[in-house]
Chains A and B, each alone.
Chain A
Amino acid sequence: MSRIETTFAQLKEKQRKALIPFITAGDPGLEVTVPLMHAMVEAGADVIELGVPFSDPMADGPVIQKACERALAAGTGLRDVLAMVREFRRGDDQTPVVLMGYLNPVEIMGYERFAETCVEVGVDGVLLVDLPPEECDEIGPLFKERGIDLIFLVAPTTTEARIARIAEAASGYLYYVSLKGVTGAASLNVEEVAARVETIRNLAQLPIGVGFGIKDAQSAQAVSRVADGVVVGSALVNQVAAHADEPMAITPAVSEILADMRAAMDKL
């Protein structure tokens, strides 16, 4: 069983939902990320989504755009992100790590070399925002044979036929994008999300994480009632941005938000 599968199975047993924080690797500096990852696990994270910075983050709102800019200014490349996971694994061989980003940096490294390195450093899943299942003929098998989960987005606009198709190509979990928009956009509508998650459940066996528009403990709690996992990104990256000049303050600020979310989700 993969780390991701194990994690969701264990959570299910305990009747808990996954808390999945997202941060951009190397934001605001390379040395910040690994200690922050450990701190997030400490604060209650079950899976970590680590953003690979890209110069043209088309699906992201201003918060993650700026995070990418800071990380790139600090010199963070895909190789550095992979090295961070290697370092993280020295202190944590339980918590799944998912790399999230855009296809081009992976394309330049080469699919096979990237897949090999993921296995070597302990990456569990990869979510490439601009890589739909239709374009996965080459990369899909490379990941599958190495046991790396390929995670896909499902959107409010995704038809039922496509959901079934995505579910077939996906492993690990499905990431339901709660609203039409970019990351960090307006608040989500919990009833709508609940209805969509039901539809997805009827078409897919995989656990369902919900992201986009989860801003605080209250929305995390509401979403965790209907989904298997809650993804929170911009709300945390906002804290990184606020403390970019004093990196020592980043970890406590991010941890506090996560701990609040954890507590609210576990109250159910």
Chain B
Amino acid sequence: MTQRPDSTQTPDYGAFPDARGHFGRFGGRFVSETLMAALDELETMYRRLKDDPQFQADFDYDLAHYVGRPSPLYLAERWTEQLGGARIWLKREDLNHTGAHKVNNTIGQALLAKHMGKKRVIAETGAGQHGVASATVAARLGLECHVFMGEEDIRRQRLNVYRMKLLGAEVVPVTSGSRTLKDAMNEAMRDWVTNVDDTFYIIGTVAGPHPYPMLVRDFQSVIGREAREQSLAQAGKLPDALVACVGGGSNAIGLFHPFLNDEGVAMYGVEAAGDGVDTGRHAAPLSVGRPGVLHGNRTYLMEDDNGQIIETHSVSAGLDYPGVGPEHAWLKDIGRVNYVSADDNEALAAFRELTRVEGIMPALESAHALAYARKLAPTLGKDQDIVVNLSGRGDKDILTVAEIDGINF
């Protein structure tokens, strides 16, 4: 099912990015000069610590005792039966402390910040999950924390905003541009340029300038490593397909990466089609965008003929982003991963269905992956296995869904 390019050799996916942060023609480091030294410093520190057994042990300890890993791989039996095809397994990142996969990465970056002696951390957030995960690790380490969040997202995600405040973080409303995730990232970059000496920028996804796409991927790859082991133990074999939602793409790369060299495992990254990919109101750059440069890396973008970034739309704030991690852009081009999309209605339907059938309320982001899995499962045999990344829980989205249902609290 996976399309392959006409090459005699399959790349070793573990060998990417190259030394300057490129995944094929994507990735790289496109930032203003002031940040180059900080990125060099970060890269040097990360490359040193990555292979340091003590750093790895600290990271693993926190994942086990603070986050609650490993997260279960749960066989959704009733849903599988209802769909009448492949077995559906849910990788339960929703059960992590703070309620999503985001914390895997913030734990890792907070450890880096500590090693680098930074006293202040900043983060951008869309749905608020990464903001909450950043505020959480900052509280734990006693770091000053500022979270940049678009005004529009603050409205959509006021529960998470309050959570961040309770955790001691300052939530900085961003009023420029479309007032969503991309603008929050612009503003975080501006803050970083200004306070680069004492500030660590915790980027929440596998985008941004090198080395961020690499290090966020490495921290999130715990998802795929666990899922791989759990599949072998619980299903007795590797899964036939992996499905994950893609905004910036950190939960998807985390699940996919440890399986990339397993040729028999098909992969599906699900973008947010919003009102539909043919309406212009969506957030699906891999489906209908084109390559460009934004936020420090070359990747697929939603942009107009003049190279201006255009506004995105999705019912889920966490997918409302006009770019995507450069590794995904590369995996699309070489055909290793299939990128598809699910629209707002499909995601909402999947949200309701999983809640009713399995008693698990997924985040609206994760519901996009579920919506695609719902279509994929019946096309596969009953002896086949699909692993869906349930990247976050849906508590934060209750107000959004209630609003759609016409209920006001």
**Known contacts A58-B189, A156-B34; A78 and B294 CB within 8 A of each other:** no
B59 within 8 A of A: no
Q: Which residues of B contact A78 (CB under 8 A)?
A: 306-307
A30 within 8 A of B: no
Q: Mark A166-181, 1 if CB is under 8 A from B, else 0.
A: 1000000000010011
A185 within 8 A of B: yes
Nearest-neighbour CB distance to chain A for B361, whole angstroms, equals: 34
- Bin chain A's interface residue count: 35 or more
A157 within 8 A of B: yes
Q: Is the CB–CB distance between B32 and A185 below 8 Å?
A: no
Distance of A103 Cα from B30 Cα, bound (Å):
9
> Which of B30, B176, B196 has the most C-beta atoms of chain A within 10 angstroms of its own C-beta?
B30
Q: Is the CB–CB distance between A185 and B194 below 8 Å?
A: yes
Q: Is the CB–CB distance between A105 and B306 below 8 Å?
A: yes
Q: Which residues of A contact B31 (CB under 8 A)?
A: 58, 130, 132
Q: Mark B167-191, 1 if CB is under 8 A from A, else 0.
A: 0000000001100001100100110
B197 within 8 A of A: yes
* A interface residue numbers (CB < 8 A to B): 54-62, 65, 69, 72, 77-79, 102-109, 129-132, 134-135, 152-159, 162, 166, 177, 180-182, 185
Q: Which residues of A contact B183 (CB under 8 A)?
A: 56
Nearest-neighbour CB distance to chain A for B354, whole angstroms, equals: 35
Q: Which residues of A contact B225 (CB under 8 A)?
A: none
**In the complex, number of A-B residue pairs with CB atoms less than 8 Å apart:** 123
Q: Which residues of A contact B194 (CB under 8 A)?
A: 180-182, 185
Pick from A103, A130, A157, A185: contact of B37, CB under 8 Å: A157
Distance of A60 Cα from B32 Cα, bound (Å):
10
Pick from A56, A131, A157: contact of B186, CB under 8 Å: A56
**Known contacts A129-B32, A130-B31, A180-B34; A56 and B294 CB within 8 A of each other:** yes
Q: Which residues of A contact B195 (CB under 8 A)?
A: 180
Q: Is the CB–CB distance between A162 and B303 below 8 Å?
A: no
Q: Is the CB–CB distance between B197 and A108 below 8 Å?
A: no
Q: Which residue of A lies closest to B197 (CB)?
A: A180
Q: Is the CB–CB distance between A108 and B186 below 8 Å?
A: no
Distance of A192 Cα from B34 Cα, bound (Å):
16
**Known contacts A55-B308, A157-B196; A104 and B294 CB within 8 A of each other:** yes
**Known contacts A55-B177, A56-B309; A104 and B34 CB within 8 A of each other:** no
Q: Which residues of A contact B37 (CB under 8 A)?
A: 155, 157-159, 162
Q: Is the CB–CB distance between B292 and A107 below 8 Å?
A: yes
Q: Which residues of B contact A102 (CB under 8 A)?
A: 293
Q: Which residue of B lies closest to A76 (CB)?
A: B306
B102 within 8 A of A: no
